[in-house]
Chain A
Amino acid sequence: MKKFQLGEFEEIVMLTVAILYDDAYGVSIKKEIENRLGRNVSVGALQSALRRLEDKDYLASHDKDATQERAGRPKRYYKITSLGKQAMQYTKETRNSLWDAIPSVSLDVKFAKLFNA
């Protein structure tokens, strides 16, 4: 199986783009992440992540809607490609399989503390 590389922030951006579906452009993605996760996202970090994802062919983009409040600049809308979908799926599955492999006792924090002591 082909290996998919997806960083933590990249994964969040992918998921957010998926959530926003038809309305995923720079500002909306930024706001959605800030609202849902309560963390600050700089334009720079977001754009650089989008760039990397586009380079990996996980995202595709097109420009439209040059509006007044954007000083006549178009919005660049992002969509998940099928390769991007596979990557997200792969990440999710590896996570799940890891979760499944955890024995229940290791998450018993009290026991762990005792053990450490």
Chain B
Amino acid sequence: MHNPPKLFLKFFRWYCHPRLVKPIEGDLMELYEERVQELGKKKADLQFIKDTLLLFRKDIIKPAEGTRKLNHYGMFKNYFKVGIRNILKYKTFSFINVFGLAVAMSVCMLIILMLADQKSYDQFHSKKDTIYRVLGTPEIGSWPFATVPMPVAETLEEEYPFIEEAIYLRRGVGGDASINQKTVELKGYFTNSSFFSVFSFPLVEGDKSTALTAPNSIVITKEKAYQLFNDKSPLGQQVKFEDRGLHILDIESGNPPVDWGTYTVTGVIDLSAYKTHIKFDALVSSSTLPRLYQDSLIADVSENWEYYWGVYSYFKVAEGTSHDQVQKALSDLSLRKYAESEELSEFQLSGQRLTEITPGIPVNNEATFRLPEIAYYILSILALVIMVMACLNYTNLSIARAITRMKEIGVRKVNGATRKNLIFQFLTESVITVIIALLLAAVILYFTKEAFMNLWFNKYLNFELTTSLPVIAQFLVFAVIVGLIAGTYPALFLSKRNPINALKSKDLSKGKWGLQKVLNVSQFVVSLIFIVTSMVIYNQFKHYTEFEYGFNSENIINMPLQGNDYDLVVNELSQISGITNISAVDYIPATGITNVIELQNQKEDEEPLVLLNYYVDENFIENLDLKLLHGESITSSREDGRYILINESAVEKLGYDSPQEALGQIWKLDNDESSVQIIGIVENFRASLLINGHEIRPMSLSTGKDKLNYLNVRISEGNPLKTIADIQDRWKEIDPIHEFKYDFYDNELSNTNLAIFDVVTIIGYISFLAILIACLGLLGMATYATERKTKEVGIRKVLGAAELKLVLILSKSFLTLLGMSILIAAPLSYFINKLWLDNLPNRVDFGFETVIIGSLLMLGLGLLTIGSQTLRAARQNPVESLKDE
């Protein structure tokens, strides 16, 4: 016996079709043996190798998939077919499953869309992974600020070699740009020339490398360029810029214009084409700043390490720099600059990756409105709760219906199906169900998306919920995962059956019904908590909108002066007949913006006292129906900035026992040399946001004509629209450049509560879905239970049972179920809501009645669900149910 080359023999055995391997190997061996005798071992070996290689051909090689997999494919086809048939056969159950899953999935999909939108921010920058923003945390434990002191950027670039380029965006550009009688409002930043090498914004026109180098250069957005120049090329044009102190997020009404000189347009940027967290109309070259400092047009903070409210800093690091390295450099810098500092000894700088800004941790002084990460977590958790409830429905119904599948399972097992095969089969079924649900969910999503986009906060967050291919892929993956999760327990449970018991349709242990009840109860518990919570939030919302502020806001419209002279505007408007009164104030009370003054006693031996302060004119008290309790009101004869009125809380705060005592007292203003005299006491009214505090804060009303920003115009009830039109006409004469802006005071007040209303809408929708899914689950169980008891009902009826009695018998187990849910959920929802409500200022009364109403609502819906099935069963003619077979 001689041995052929082992390697090739093995190779042959590996590739050869198992059916052929033995005889052909025999042939090869026979030939080999012969050749060894005739030609010698070497030549025989060569021949053998040649033969094995030549045998490597289509007819001899085993099929690539292996013989087993073919079988799997066949079985898969069968699973698929049986799955579809099962779905079609039990239409009620399939509908309950598909609908419940679809509703829950649509919510999850909406959140996937939101996250996909947020994740797409700032993805277009070519060096996005090496760009950081600097955050500053003033003291340990507080939220970080997105703004940092101005010298940070330059210091970082100079002192740390791995930081390639650092830039700052300094707030403060906000005013009117004009050319040839055309005026456009521009808001933006001062920034360094390397702005365009850190960020990858392309310029539609202009040269990126030089656009922001020279002083008085300005880069504007395409939109503004069109407004200013129409189709003419903006490059090289000289525009006149007058600053009005406008804020980038549009909060302030604007100061009188200040001439900042002329600027050359050096670039046009199409900002709207890019999703970025930075928003602006214009960028002004930072080399312009020294001149503005010199002319005292803007505060010089370029060497100020304490001022951290107005400058954003970004830097780009060298490729391969680790996050730790960046953090280390920043803590090193903060240690060096702030360890010795008196007020900011805890000030800590840190780096935030550009890609982690949206969505990201909540920060103060953000450049644009954003939802922090935590909001997405909360929304995701709510959506997942709903999703779990829908999955429980599927699990529950599948187990409940196990008995109808027993024969099939038994037959499959007898025919040789392993447990694994059955698990695979049931998982296939659940995935099919979920895929169908996915289609329905897409339809539901189409509508919820619309509703979501119309929510108030979307005006500020600008969600763009577009469906792209990767998002669809995510939906599919999500659906398959949901299918697997929903199907796992039923698959394990059903496949466990012993074939003999399965064929006998026995062995449905009582314990499993117990589990289903637990699941059902938990669904209703969650639903009730949601219902009560949404009712409480709604009540709170109503309480806020109907709140008595202590002043009369009816029929008042507020209009920003937009930098125009107060006397002039008042004079012009007072000629309009529909106006009954006009007053003015620096910021509208109770709409979110507040200013303070600090008062120091005459001896200057104590900490200054902080009072909320509004600058008002002499008509303010009368116009808003404020009540003057003591002393006298502000009059036009009084000198500006010398006299204040205080409210009742302030009397206490300033340490007086009675209002009379306070009258005539003189206090020093902390920030300058002047002092003020208290001339009157007004009744408390609410001027801060309701959500910001329960107590009415100590407050003062001061005179100061140059500080007034808004007019409060009280118009007569007759024809408000005509009066507003009249005002608009007058306004065009007073200020032809700026558009007339106004809003009703009542409107502005209720707008402050719109965020709460959005929460009501979201929680309300979620609780609606929760109760819907819970009821669907109950409907499924009730349908199934009554179906299985038709014979019993028939016999009972024949023996003379009354319909009502039958309904009671059939509903009993479900009624206890509902009762248990309420017993658990009612106190739970009471305490949960008490918990958050107790932290809310100006809260609505919350007692057991809300919980009771919620419970009754749920009980009613539950009874309706059960009743629909049990009544039908009880009414059935016994002949029908008894004759079948």
Contact surface of A with B, Cβ cutoff 8 Å: 25-27, 30, 42-45, 47-48, 51-52, 63, 66, 68-71, 73-76
> What separation, in Å, do the CA atoms of A35 and B476 have in the docked complex?
65
> What separation, in Å, do the CA atoms of A98 and B33 have in the docked complex?
45
- Contact between A47 and B31, CB atoms less than 8 A apart: no
> What separation, in Å, do the CA atoms of A115 and B609 have in the docked complex?
129
> What separation, in Å, do the CA atoms of A30 and B54 have in the docked complex?
15
List B18-33 residues whose CB lies under 8 Å from chain A.
20, 22-31, 33
- Contact between A42 and B23, CB atoms less than 8 A apart: no
Against A, the Cβ 8 Å flags (1 = close, 0 = not) of B788-813 are 00000000000000000000000000
- Contact between A73 and B59, CB atoms less than 8 A apart: no
Chain B residues with CB under 8 Å of A75's CB are 23, 26-27
Query: With A44-B60, A47-B20 in contact, is A71–B29 under 8 Å at CB?
Result: yes
Least CB distance, A56 to chain B, in whole angstroms: 12
Chain A residues with CB under 8 Å of B25's CB are 71, 73
A-B contact count (CB 8 A): 72
Chain A residues with CB under 8 Å of B33's CB are 69
- Contact between A42 and B50, CB atoms less than 8 A apart: yes
List B182-210 residues whose CB lies under 8 Å from chain A.
none
- Contact between A73 and B22, CB atoms less than 8 A apart: yes
- Contact between B26 and A74, CB atoms less than 8 A apart: yes
Chain B residues with CB under 8 Å of A30's CB are 27, 31
> What separation, in Å, do the CA atoms of A57 and B1 have in the docked complex?
36
Select which of B30, B50, B59 is within 8 A of A70 by beta carbon: B30
> What separation, in Å, do the CA atoms of A44 and B28 have in the docked complex?
10
> What separation, in Å, do the CA atoms of A73 and B56 have in the docked complex?
20
A-B complex: 6 closest residue pairs judged by Cβ atoms: A73-B26, A76-B23, A44-B54, A26-B27, A51-B59, A70-B26
Interface SS, A side:
helix
- Contact between A43 and B23, CB atoms less than 8 A apart: no
Select which of B1, B24, B59 is within 8 A of A43 by beta carbon: B24
Least CB distance, B63 to chain A, in whole angstroms: 13
Least CB distance, A42 to chain B, in whole angstroms: 5
Query: With A43-B51, A43-B54 in contact, is A69–B29 under 8 Å at CB?
Result: yes
- Contact between A47 and B30, CB atoms less than 8 A apart: no
Listed by A's residue number, 16 A-B pairs whose Cβ atoms lie within 8 Å are A25-B23, A27-B30, A30-B27, A42-B51, A43-B27, A45-B54, A48-B57, A48-B59, A48-B60, A51-B20, A63-B23, A66-B26, A71-B29, A73-B25, A74-B22, A75-B27
Least CB distance, A27 to chain B, in whole angstroms: 5
> What separation, in Å, do the CA atoms of A48 and B56 have in the docked complex?
10
Chain A residues with CB under 8 Å of B51's CB are 42-44
Q: Does B754 contact A (CB under 8 A)?
A: no
Chain B residues with CB under 8 Å of A26's CB are 23-24, 26-27
Chain B residues with CB under 8 Å of A52's CB are 59
Chain B residue nearest in CB terms to A63? B23
> What separation, in Å, do the CA atoms of A4 and B872 have in the docked complex?
69
Chain A residues with CB under 8 Å of B28's CB are 43
Chain B residues with CB under 8 Å of A48's CB are 57-60
Query: With A47-B55, A69-B33 in contact, is A74–B27 under 8 Å at CB?
Result: no
Chain A residue nearest in CB terms to B25? A73
> What separation, in Å, do the CA atoms of A73 and B24 have in the docked complex?
8
> What separation, in Å, do the CA atoms of A78 and B60 have in the docked complex?
17
Q: A25-B27, A74-B26 are in contact. List 6 more A-B contacts (CB 8 A).
A: A26-B27, A27-B30, A43-B27, A43-B55, A63-B22, A74-B22
- Contact between B54 and A71, CB atoms less than 8 A apart: no
Chain A residues with CB under 8 Å of B53's CB are 44
Chain A residues with CB under 8 Å of B57's CB are 44, 48
Query: With A43-B31, A44-B60, A48-B60 in contact, is A73–B54 under 8 Å at CB?
Result: no
Least CB distance, A111 to chain B, in whole angstroms: 44
Chain A residues with CB under 8 Å of B58's CB are 48
> What separation, in Å, do the CA atoms of A52 and B128 have in the docked complex?
61
- Contact between A27 and B27, CB atoms less than 8 A apart: yes
Chain B residues with CB under 8 Å of A47's CB are 20, 24, 27, 55, 59-60
> What separation, in Å, do the CA atoms of A42 and B27 have in the docked complex?
12
> What separation, in Å, do the CA atoms of A71 and B27 have in the docked complex?
10
Chain B residues with CB under 8 Å of A44's CB are 51, 53-57, 60
- Contact between A70 and B54, CB atoms less than 8 A apart: no
Chain A residues with CB under 8 Å of B54's CB are 42-45
Least CB distance, A62 to chain B, in whole angstroms: 10
> What separation, in Å, do the CA atoms of A96 and B55 have in the docked complex?
35
> What separation, in Å, do the CA atoms of A42 and B49 have in the docked complex?
12
Listed residue (A43, A48, A63) with the most chain B CB atoms within 10 angstroms of its CB: A43
> What separation, in Å, do the CA atoms of A71 and B26 have in the docked complex?
7
> What separation, in Å, do the CA atoms of A26 and B29 have in the docked complex?
11
Against A, the Cβ 8 Å flags (1 = close, 0 = not) of B277-295 are 0000000000000000000
Select which of B26, B31, B50, B60 is within 8 A of A51 by beta carbon: B60
> What separation, in Å, do the CA atoms of A13 and B1 have in the docked complex?
30
> What separation, in Å, do the CA atoms of A45 and B26 have in the docked complex?
16
Listed residue (A42, A44, A69) with the most chain B CB atoms within 10 angstroms of its CB: A44
Chain B residue nearest in CB terms to A61? B23
- Contact between A70 and B24, CB atoms less than 8 A apart: no
Listed residue (B29, B51, B53) with the most chain A CB atoms within 10 angstroms of its CB: B29
Query: With A27-B30, A44-B60 in contact, is A74–B55 under 8 Å at CB?
Result: no
Least CB distance, A45 to chain B, in whole angstroms: 7
- Contact between A74 and B30, CB atoms less than 8 A apart: no
Chain B residue nearest in CB terms to A51? B59
- Contact between A73 and B23, CB atoms less than 8 A apart: yes
- Contact between B60 and A70, CB atoms less than 8 A apart: no
- Contact between A69 and B24, CB atoms less than 8 A apart: no
> What separation, in Å, do the CA atoms of A44 and B49 have in the docked complex?
12
> What separation, in Å, do the CA atoms of A71 and B29 have in the docked complex?
7
> What separation, in Å, do the CA atoms of A30 and B55 have in the docked complex?
14
List B38-80 residues whose CB lies under 8 Å from chain A.
50-51, 53-60
Least CB distance, B108 to chain A, in whole angstroms: 53
> What separation, in Å, do the CA atoms of A74 and B26 have in the docked complex?
6
Least CB distance, B3 to chain A, in whole angstroms: 9
Chain A residue nearest in CB terms to B31? A27
Chain B residue nearest in CB terms to A48? B59
Least CB distance, B245 to chain A, in whole angstroms: 90
Least CB distance, A40 to chain B, in whole angstroms: 11
Least CB distance, A117 to chain B, in whole angstroms: 44
> What separation, in Å, do the CA atoms of A75 and B20 have in the docked complex?
11
